[in-house]
Structure 1
Amino acid sequence: LLIGVATGRSDVSDDEYTRVKIHGNHAFSLLKVHSLSHDKRFVLVRDPHSCTNFEDKHVTRESLDSLQKVQRAERRSGSCWISWQMFLKYFSSITICRWRADMFDVRADGQFTLDASQPITVYQFHLPAVSQINISLYYHKQDRTQRVLHTQSFLLCDIDHTNGKTGELTANISGTRDGFTSWDGSLRSGNYVLIPFSTSFWSKSEDTSALNYTVVIHASNTLELTPVEEPVTYLSDCLIAAVIKNADRSTKEKDYKYYSTKNGCMAFVAENSSQQYLNVTIDFEQARRFSTSRQAFLTIDSLPPRTRQILFVAEWKPQGNGTSSMNYSYLTELCSQKSETIPRLMEIDIHQPRPISL
């Protein structure tokens, strides 16, 4: 059953909830109840919106080792084991939701990356038949009162395991400046890959606990998520496919094309179909409360023949006062020689040119 529990007892003060490091007036998911003996009963709960630092003196190291074998609690995903007496003391209500036997629930925890070269976790799954599916990406705030200051997205692409190509039939992109991103739709039978990502934490000295997320999938057919670590160029290929399929704006010339998206995930892709180098200079003008994955407001790229490239992924920054604004212009030149790239790209980088598949 889907069971929710809530704190907020009238006989427990806000200071007491703060002292024991558990949120008052807050909803949790009840995942498991287990007894180690007649007088040792425990409850596994999860805060779906933040990490947990709750400590229970009745959950000894020996007890926790036994409970973790029953079902593992991960503090970074907001779950923890609580003794029955502490559960009764701090929780006030239980809600049992209606069970839907025709929907399957799958979850996986992961972390966003810290730079444009870091390998990324992708989640592969297979659908045996046409399925209704809902995908949600939840960011785990370190504290529930923390303001969400990042943009997060996920890609959903079909994958052909025979040739390794992705996004030929399905290439969806969902993005929000929020800690919750979702997508609903119908998918045909086949193999798929789901890729959560965010450029908001790049070039920052973040504690890894600030990068945690959970993927939740509800589907009308059973599926299993298989996490696989891939080089960031895998993200490049899927993002390029998604931007081309979902472009809000495109410029198409004989030898080159540009594609861009503006809602949720803002990305700009260039395609060089010529036999020369495509040199592209982008100048961000009057950019306020705005940042890009290149960490620069002037970029120069030189695409080799028959390649595509993510020139930038951008986002609005909510810090500070005043309005957000941005305008950019770009210059195009076809040359026989490669020009210098500014800023320089790392050897493995999401912005590296990718070959156009035949």
Structure 2
Amino acid sequence: TSNFDISLIYHRKNRGSTLTHTQSFILCDVEYGLDRDIGKSVAILKSHYGAFTHWTGSLSPGFYVLVPFSTGFWNEKYYDTERHYTLVMHSKIPIDIQVTNEPATLLADCLIAAVSKENINKTTDADFNYYTAPKKCHFSMFIAENSSFTNYLNLDIDMTDSTCISSSRQSFITHDCIPPRHRQIIFLTEWTHERNQPGRMSYLYQSSFVTNSNHSVPEINISENDFHSFRSF
């Protein structure tokens, strides 16, 4: 093993401006075989509300993927906004680094691996399980798991009582249909920390099993590897 130090720094255009986003990164091991297995041994998730996110630890030799992300910038109004980050890695041994363009489903696979591995915030209800992000994270996440071998899982979520949050789904009311033996990130939310506004995160869910599939609302573009695409297990 070797010690590593990873830092993610966000550069604001105006140092005096108020920072209203959570920045995070996730580090997972990758095993190559018939399929690419993500996060089987290592799945490290770090998040922080501010301009600096950091992790120090040891890693064994192998292949890893590191994904920085901030859903606060996923809103359409930020599409044309320049975002400047610096990612710094220190290692006591030489490492090979390659920057690649990957589909958003890679981030989904990493997050599912990290949250399900801890198995702390898991709730079981018949053939329906769900996971939520650990309290140490500065965001909220809901991962649904359909354990049925035959039926589809219908899941409706209502977050309309929430305030001062930004959702990866761009909607506070969602409907999803998850195939048998699949998981899906239903939403990932971050605090917007608006001035003089109290923040509140609240949601209600309703689930049922059906024999036929139906469409998600808002629509999920699975053919384009949308972040919210369901993933087999």
Query: If the length of structure 2 is used for normalisation, what is the TM-score?
Result: 0.91
Rg bigger for which structure?
1
Figure out how many residues of one structure are paired with residues of the other and give that number: 227
Question: Residue in 2 aligned with 1:249?
Answer: 121
Secondary structure (helix, strand or coil) at the match of 1:240 reads helix
Q: Which residue of 2 aligns with 1:311?
A: 186
Which of 242, 267, 271 in structure 1 is aligned with 2:141? 267
Partner of 2:44: 172
Q: Does 1:353 align with 2:225?
A: no
How far has the Cα of 1:282 moved from its partner? Answer: 0.9
- Unaligned regions of 5+ residues in structure 1, if any? 1-129
**Higher relative contact order at CA 8 Å, sep ≥6: structure 1 or structure 2?**
2
What one-letter code is carried by the residue in structure 1 that aligns with 2:169? R
Does 1:220 find its partner at 2:92?
yes
Answering whether residue 153 of structure 2 is matched by residue 278 of structure 1, we say yes
Once the two structures are superposed, what CA deviation does each residue of 1:241-278 show, in whole Å capped at 9, x if it has no partner?
11212354211234221000142232111111212101
- Which residue of the partner structure matches residue 338 of structure 1? 213
Letter of the 1:156 counterpart: L
Supply the AA of the counterpart residue of 2:146.
Answer: N
| Partner Cα distance (2:117, 2:145) in 1 | 13
Structural RMSD (CA)? 1.7
Q: Match of 1:138, as an amino acid?
A: I
What is the TM-score of this pair, normalised by structure 1?
0.60
Is the CA contact 1:285–1:326 (under 8 Å) kept in the aligned structure 2?
A: no
Question: How many Å separate the matches in 1 of 2:219 and 2:2?
Answer: 44
Alignment of 1:284-295 (within 5 A): 284-295=159-170
Distance of 1:191 and 1:159 partners within structure 2: 5
Counterparts of 2:169 and 2:78 in 1: how far apart (Å)?
18
Instruction: Tell me, in whole angstroms, the C-alpha distance in 2 between the residues paired with 1:218 and 1:157.
Output: 17
Give unmatched runs, 5+ long, in structure 2: none
Whether the 8 Å CA contact 1:141–1:210 is kept in 2: the answer is no
Whether contact under 8 Å (1:272, 1:278) holds in the other structure is: yes
CA distance in 1, matches of 2:81, 2:139: 23
Tell me the equivalent position of 2:3.
132
Q: Decide whether aligned partners of structure 1 residues 255 and 158 sit closer, same or farther in structure 2, where only a CA change above 3 A counts.
A: same
3-state SS in 2 of match to 1:222:
coil
Cα distance in 1 for residues equivalent to 2:228 and 2:78: 22
In structure 2, distance between residues paired with 1:290 and 1:355? 29
| Runs ≥4 residues deviating over 4 A | none
